[in-house]
Amino acid sequence: MMRLLVLLCFSVSSLAQAGVESRVHQLLNQWRTSEAATEAEALLTTLPDLPAIQEAAARVKFFQGRYQDALDLLRRARAAAKRESPLLPLIQATFEETRNHVAYPGRHFTVHVPPGPDQVLADYLHEALEEALARHGPRFGVTVKEPIRVEVYSSLESFAQVSTLSLEAIKTSGTIALCKFDRLMLVTPRVTLRGYDWLDTASHELIHLLISRRSHNSVPVWLHEGLAKYHESGWRGDYGEPLAPYAAELLAKAIQKDELISFARMSPSMALLPSQEATATAFAEVKTAIEYMLEQKGDGVVIGLMDGIREGNGQLDPAFEKLFGTDLKGFESSWTQWLKKRPMETVTGARKSALEFGRNRSSADDTDPSRPDGPAGRRARLGDMLYRRGHHEAAAIEYQRAVDKAGTGYPGLVHRLADCLIATRAFDAARDLLNRSAKQAPDDPRTWILLGRLGLRAERWQESRQAYEEANRINPFDPEVHDALAQLGIRLQDDALHQRELRAKARLEGAERPKAASPKESVTPTKDAAYLTLVTSPWAEVLIDDQAIGRGTPLTDYPLTPGTHEIELRNTALGLKKRLKITLKPGQRLHKELKLGREKDALDNPIE
């Protein structure tokens, strides 16, 4: 027996020296979180007190979104190793930024949003992402078995804390979302003046996750972004939506001036390019690169290229030579020649679509000062005076004269003219004007709101719904959008739409807020509190007195009121469950190590 013990000790020591936890880190780097969790669980069972193992397991918990559990493991590692893990600041910041988030679980996604108006985002994110996964999953050859974590942040500062990007880089590049640490990360549209295409952005980030999982995170940045950009709108229509007018204009200028951004310059991140214009140009480039690939080799190139790069351990040239008969440099050269001949989707008067950060201005009726100078400006100001006095027909005449002279490049002028045309029932003229405006600036929600109003006034219900849905995909914080869609749910006899919009209104108005935790869910430690530590094999979600506490095992020094408590431990992925009853005395610290079994309904024997 002693010989066996000596051999076991030698074996454990050898494993520690060999760095057995490196396999866990390798799997996480390859976005194989489930496999990493299995490896980490086995190591924790064998070497529960080794700091390196605890740190590796903490990183797994972080990828799983179990931040408190990760912090518990890192504190144990710090106590044993007498040093602080470099992971600790990021995990601590992420925990602090998300600890009060409201969770909305769904079939394939769990959406975590800050309490307050941002709760309005949850239903729409679930709808869009489920549609996106149904479309993108087969396209990228990935099946999702466990819910994907989606986090929304209430400010750019919060996003900087959890993303590892600097606030300056975020503002310079216009980075508003990321896929990192095996989850989707978005900033609320509420931090922008007019919103942004947040649902397409969520689809875009989901594609990044699918690419990383399929390729084991071996695909370079430019190809990642090209695949995501080309496919992002596929959740609501065809793949390969035309370039936005402003992006097409930037790309055309870059071609003309011979200033294309090379694929190499796009690494290590698009977020590090010097301006929003440079970032938009780069995205337009890589989107057309995917268009070129598909034109040359068909849909199979998507999975073929990812698999080739993965099998080549990240080497690009062999994969490109196999599919295109040339290395990456040759491909980039042939794409450049093709691009110079490709027609561009430029539109006269296309408006800049750069993100504008600031207090959200949601209404189409807000005062937009954009007016031309000279004679057109004088006509516009006369129209403003007539508009304020309620003379919509006369105002429309002056606004139209201003637009005839200056064009449709002044959004405030165009929207005011459209409003007057709708008020005077000049529906065809209003529709023509707004459609032209939408082509110039498809990401301006005010245009879509006015088209929605036009549909309501003209009793064209489906047309109105489509316009308001477009507005909502950009800026969901305008109460008019949800009021109108709720009405349209009745008009179109679509009860699901009606109920969804009633929920959205309630969330915007503050009628749905998270309830305060009950004493059994959260206990403030006192001198009389008792403390529970649970270690299980395998890991488990912890419920206390039939309430989930949002924590899993290992659970360390969790404060509870003295007395009797029922504990339930669940691992739904493996179908394992254990229930027990404990009785705690004031100041007691109870430590239990348990093995889970198959699900049973009967309560196990009490433990004191």
Tell me, yes or no, if the two domains 2-84 and 374-509 fold the same way.
yes
- 90: tokens are 């990021």
Q: To which H or E segment does residue 38 belong? A: helix 33-46
pLDDT digits (tens, 9 = 90+) for 223-239: 999 999 999 999 999 99
Domain ranges of the chain: 2-84, 102-341, 374-509, 530-598
Tell me the residue type at 42: A
Cβ atoms of residues 430 and 383 within 8 Å: no
- Name which of 102, 100, 96, 51 is nearest 78 in CA terms: 51
Rounded Cα–Cα distance for residues 555 and 532 (Å): 8
Confidence grade of residue 498 (pLDDT, cut at 50, 70, 90): very high
pLDDT mean over 580-599? 85
The CATH classification number of 102-341 equals 1.10.390
What confidence score (pLDDT) does residue 607 get? 38
The CATH classification number of 530-598 equals 2.60.40
265-269, 453-457, 485-489, 594-598: the lowest-pLDDT one:
594-598
Tell me the residue type at 530: A
Residue 18 has pLDDT above 90, yes or no: no
Could you please state the CATH topology (level 3) that the domain comprising 2-84 is classified under. 1.25.40
What confidence score (pLDDT) does residue 41 get? 92
pLDDT mean over 38-54? 92
What confidence score (pLDDT) does residue 523 get? 52
Residue 522 has pLDDT above 60, yes or no: no
Confidence grade of residue 142 (pLDDT, cut at 50, 70, 90): very high
Please tell me the pTM assigned to this model: 0.84
150-159, 204-213, 379-388, 525-534: the lowest-pLDDT one:
525-534
What confidence score (pLDDT) does residue 517 get? 40
- 399: tokens are 């606004």
Q: To which H or E segment does residue 533 belong? A: strand 530-537
Beta bridge partners of residue 564, listed in sequence order = 583
Name, in order, each residue with C-beta under 8 angstroms of 570's C-beta and a sequence gap of 6 or more: 540, 541, 543, 576, 577
Furthest CA-CA distance within the chain: 101
Cβ atoms of residues 459 and 487 within 8 Å: no
Cα-based distances in Å from 605 to 109, 113, 535, 542, 567: 36, 40, 18, 18, 11
Cα-based distances in Å from 430 to 231, 368, 401, 416, 455: 33, 18, 15, 11, 11
pLDDT mean over 533-558? 83
CATH class of 374-509: mainly alpha
pLDDT digits (tens, 9 = 90+) for 361-412: 766 556 777 788 999 999 999 999 999 999 999 999 999 999 999 988 888 8
pLDDT mean over 129-137? 98
pLDDT digits (tens, 9 = 90+) for 309-318: 999 999 999 9
Rounded Cα–Cα distance for residues 134 and 206 (Å): 11
Which residue has tokens 């109105």?
A: 464
pLDDT mean over 583-589? 91
